[in-house]
Amino acid sequence: MPMPHPSPPHTRSIRPFRFGIAVAMAPVFDRLLDRVQSLLSLKTKRAAFGVYVAALGIVTCVLTFGSIGLFAGPQAFARA
Protein backbone atom coordinates (compact mmCIF):
# COMPACT_ATOMS: atom_id res chain seq x y z
CA MET A 1 0.00 0.00 0.00
CA PRO A 2 1.49 3.41 -0.97
CA MET A 3 2.29 5.88 1.76
CA PRO A 4 0.20 9.06 1.82
CA HIS A 5 2.00 12.06 0.46
CA PRO A 6 2.82 14.56 3.22
CA SER A 7 1.56 18.09 2.76
CA PRO A 8 4.12 20.57 1.45
CA PRO A 9 6.02 22.59 4.07
CA HIS A 10 4.43 25.88 2.99
CA THR A 11 0.97 24.43 3.65
CA ARG A 12 1.93 23.39 7.16
CA SER A 13 3.37 26.81 7.93
CA ILE A 14 0.24 28.64 6.76
CA ARG A 15 -2.18 26.44 8.69
CA PRO A 16 -2.10 28.48 11.96
CA PHE A 17 -2.80 31.68 10.03
CA ARG A 18 -5.73 30.07 8.24
CA PHE A 19 -7.12 28.90 11.58
CA GLY A 20 -6.72 32.36 13.09
CA ILE A 21 -8.48 34.00 10.16
CA ALA A 22 -11.32 31.46 10.40
CA VAL A 23 -11.75 32.17 14.12
CA ALA A 24 -11.69 35.93 13.51
CA MET A 25 -14.21 35.71 10.65
CA ALA A 26 -16.70 33.47 12.47
CA PRO A 27 -18.55 36.31 14.26
CA VAL A 28 -18.68 38.34 11.03
CA PHE A 29 -20.16 35.41 9.12
CA ASP A 30 -22.63 34.76 11.93
CA ARG A 31 -23.82 38.38 11.79
CA LEU A 32 -24.13 38.10 8.00
CA LEU A 33 -26.34 35.02 8.34
CA ASP A 34 -28.45 36.76 10.99
CA ARG A 35 -28.91 39.73 8.66
CA VAL A 36 -29.92 37.52 5.73
CA GLN A 37 -32.31 35.64 7.99
CA SER A 38 -33.98 38.83 9.23
CA LEU A 39 -34.11 40.54 5.81
CA LEU A 40 -35.76 37.56 4.13
CA SER A 41 -37.87 36.58 7.19
CA LEU A 42 -36.43 33.08 7.22
CA LYS A 43 -37.21 30.78 10.13
CA THR A 44 -33.86 29.03 10.46
CA LYS A 45 -30.23 29.89 10.07
CA ARG A 46 -29.94 26.81 7.87
CA ALA A 47 -32.25 28.46 5.32
CA ALA A 48 -30.19 31.66 5.49
CA PHE A 49 -27.05 29.61 4.84
CA GLY A 50 -28.73 28.00 1.82
CA VAL A 51 -29.61 31.42 0.42
CA TYR A 52 -26.03 32.57 1.04
CA VAL A 53 -24.54 29.56 -0.74
CA ALA A 54 -26.92 29.92 -3.69
CA ALA A 55 -26.14 33.64 -4.01
CA LEU A 56 -22.42 32.93 -3.79
CA GLY A 57 -22.72 30.34 -6.56
CA ILE A 58 -24.66 32.70 -8.80
CA VAL A 59 -22.22 35.57 -8.26
CA THR A 60 -19.26 33.26 -8.88
CA CYS A 61 -20.72 32.01 -12.18
CA VAL A 62 -21.63 35.49 -13.37
CA LEU A 63 -18.17 36.86 -12.55
CA THR A 64 -16.37 33.88 -14.07
CA PHE A 65 -18.26 33.79 -17.35
CA GLY A 66 -18.45 37.56 -17.50
CA SER A 67 -14.69 37.89 -17.18
CA ILE A 68 -14.15 35.16 -19.79
CA GLY A 69 -16.47 36.98 -22.16
CA LEU A 70 -14.84 40.32 -21.40
CA PHE A 71 -11.21 39.27 -21.67
CA ALA A 72 -11.44 36.47 -24.25
CA GLY A 73 -13.97 38.20 -26.45
CA PRO A 74 -16.84 36.70 -28.45
CA GLN A 75 -14.70 33.81 -29.73
CA ALA A 76 -14.66 32.37 -26.20
CA PHE A 77 -18.31 31.35 -26.54
CA ALA A 78 -18.34 30.69 -30.30
CA ARG A 79 -19.22 27.20 -31.46
CA ALA A 80 -16.64 25.24 -33.37
Domain boundaries, the chain: 14-76
Cα–Cα nearest to 46, from 34, 62, 61, 57: 34
Give the model's pLDDT for residue 4: 72
Could you tell me if 70 and 76 are in contact, meaning their C-beta atoms sit under 8 angstroms apart?
Answer: no
Residues 6-61 have pLDDT tens digits of: 667 777 788 899 999 999 999 999 999 999 999 999 999 999 999 999 999 999 99
One-letter identity of residue 71: F
Looking at the chain, list the stretches that DSSP marks H as alpha helix, in order from N- to C-terminal side: 9-39, 45-72
Local confidence band at 1 (pLDDT 50, 70, 90 cut-offs): low
Does the reported pTM lie above 0.85? no
